[in-house]
Amino acid sequence: MKTLIKNTRRKFIGTLALGASAGITAMAVPFKESANLLTAGVNESDSWFKSIKGSHRVVFDAAEPNNGFPIIWTWGFYATNNATGSPDNDLTAVCVLRHNAMPFALEDGLCSKYKLGETFTIQDNKTKAPALRNPYYNAKDGDFPINGVDGIKKMQERGAMFCVCNLALVVYSGMVAKKLGLDPEAVRKEWVSGVLPGIEIVPAGIWALERAQRQGCSYIFAG
């Protein structure tokens, strides 16, 4: 079963790896007609980065699910700085959810409906099966491989900032729609509307990584 899931994911991701052209060519007309899909709200996104604060600033590049470790390291940045004398209000961690970690930004219903756990190899640590929910948003003990870690929602309350790559939303929703015989634009809109509260949609994850570093964030690859 594990081999089947890995092969299915490899084949799925391989379609994208043929080049952004593979995914984008399949949607060439929508992209050409709706170029503003990727850049809409850029000014607002730029302003979002201005809220980065504190003496200690970091941006985590979350390109893969990595068993929730992008969120664990976000939490760990706060925990270790607190332990060494820096309160939450002197810290900002920006976690950029891009590429295969994009589903961390989506609500449970989408994870279940589109079987995102299987497609993106996100395991539910409680069931030991592909996740049918987002285990890392309102996380409880047992959701992460170690207990005591705050999920995305609690980290937002502490001042951590999370954003999601719109390019990943557009390309992956289009590919999933094509696989299921659905309208790509309808699926894209559903995914966008299902982005969790407080998570900023940015034109691209790589765009966000550069913006965060302009605001004085140190870069850390998070998987």
Indicate whether 103 belongs to any domain: yes
Please list, residue by residue across 41-64, b when 16 or more beta carbons sit within 10 angstroms of its beta carbon and e when fewer do.
beeebeebbeebebebbbbbbbbb
Task: Output the pLDDT for position 26.
Answer: 41
Task: Output the pLDDT for position 45.
Answer: 84
- Beta-strand relationship, 56-62 and 91-97: parallel
Domain at 102, CATH number: 3.40.1260.10
Task: Output the pLDDT for position 222.
Answer: 96
Task: Output the pLDDT for position 18.
Answer: 34
Q: What is the mean pLDDT of each run of 10 residues along the chain (223 residues)?
A: 42 40 42 58 85 98 97 98 98 98 98 96 96 97 96 98 95 94 95 97 96 98 92
Indicate whether 40 belongs to any domain: no
Q: How many domains does the chain have?
A: 1
Q: Which residues constitute the domain of residue 63?
A: 57-221
